[in-house]
Amino acid sequence: MPNSRRPTTYERPWVLHEIKRSHELRKGLLAIDLFGVKYPQTGIGTQGSNPLSYWQETANGVEKPFTALCKTYSWVNDDGYRNMPTWIETAAIAAGR
């Protein structure tokens, strides 16, 4: 029987594409951890990996992971409902936009 496991968010091709293109275009990046959000049909999901931890930038021969360059927020603990616009603006400013 084939493995029917659905890819987690960080493994999905469109997520990988958007991270790559956003970095190439210097749009600013951030990660939002949704752990603790209650979903109507499944309840609270399991803790996932940060997609930014799989990417790095090399400058002057030194690799820096995106997690060291970009901020990660918790939707629950950092009150994403209220603060997400500020997080986006902060990432844009950090990218020079």
2 against 60, higher pLDDT: 60
pLDDT at 45: 78
CA distance 96 to 13: 27
CA distance 57 to 70: 11
Entry pTM: 0.81
pLDDT at 42 over 90: no
Question: Is 44 part of any domain?
Answer: no
Domain count, the chain: 1
Question: Is 22 part of any domain?
Answer: no
pLDDT digits (tens, 9 = 90+) for 46-76: 788 898 988 999 988 999 999 999 999 999 9
Split at pLDDT 50, 70, 90, the class of 1 is very low
